[in-house]
Amino acid sequence: MEITYREARPGDAQALLEFLKAVGGESDNLTFGSEGLPFSAEQEEAFLESRQNSPHSRILLALDGDQIVGNATLDGSDNPRFRHRYSFAITVRKSHWGRQIGSGLMERQIAFAKKAGAEVIGLEVRSDNDRAIALYRKFGFEKYGTYPKFFKINGEYFDIDYMNLYL
């Protein structure tokens, strides 16, 4: 089925929380595991509403039919001193990796950020996450630093890379 993209709406709250639990269990690359995020559907609904109303932020979904198969968050700031920089995060269901969905989410969020006046988009990625790093490099992100032992997962430490895209 063709993949479609749209902004997340408050009515997506429950499905999005379930999606995040699923992707949390599919890799150890995210800041959470199969437990997902510690929010109720009501809290998530309020959060999605606030994001929808924010000119500086957007949660973008990739859908296969009516099923969420990917999401990418772009977060700006209201602080005038930070307003030029945005942060980015992305995840796609494992069943759908390698089908250009990550790229589709990325190019749409970069276009949104440019329009919103962003000058730089930053992200954090596990240093051994070759697939994600290849995606980020493809869109021009460059590594500028490393945080050693950022994650401790089941007793094992993992570094993360900081990457920026200057628009």
Ligand X SMILES: CC(C)(COP(=O)(O)OP(=O)(O)OC[C@H]1O[C@@H](n2cnc3c(N)ncnc32)[C@H](O)[C@@H]1OP(=O)(O)O)[C@@H](O)C(=O)NCCC(=O)NCCS
Positions that interact with ligand X (CB under 6 A): 27, 29-30, 90-92, 97-103, 125, 129-132, 134-135, 138
Q: Based on CB atoms, which residue is closest to ligand X, 83 or 96? A: 96
DSSP code string of 83-115: TTEEEEEEEE-GGGTTSSHHHHHHHHHHHHHHH
Query: C-beta of 106: minimal distance to ligand X in Å?
Result: 7
- Residue number with the smallest Cβ distance to ligand X: 102
| DSSP annotation of 27 | -
Query: C-beta of 109: minimal distance to ligand X in Å?
Result: 12
Query: C-beta of 108: minimal distance to ligand X in Å?
Result: 12
Q: Based on CB atoms, which residue is closest to ligand X, 36 or 45? A: 36
Q: Based on CB atoms, which residue is closest to ligand X, 21 or 99? A: 99
Using CA atoms, how far apart are residues 25 and 100, in angstroms rounded to an integer? Answer: 21
Q: Based on CB atoms, which residue is closest to ligand X, 97 or 162? A: 97
What DSSP element (H or E) covers 17?
Answer: helix 13-24
Q: Based on CB atoms, which residue is closest to ligand X, 83 or 87? A: 87
Query: C-beta of 112: minimal distance to ligand X in Å?
Result: 17
Chain centre to alpha carbon of residue 153: 20
Query: C-beta of 36: minimal distance to ligand X in Å?
Result: 14
Query: What are the DSSP E strand ranges found in the chain?
Result: 3-7, 57-64, 67-75, 85-92, 120-126, 142-153, 156-166
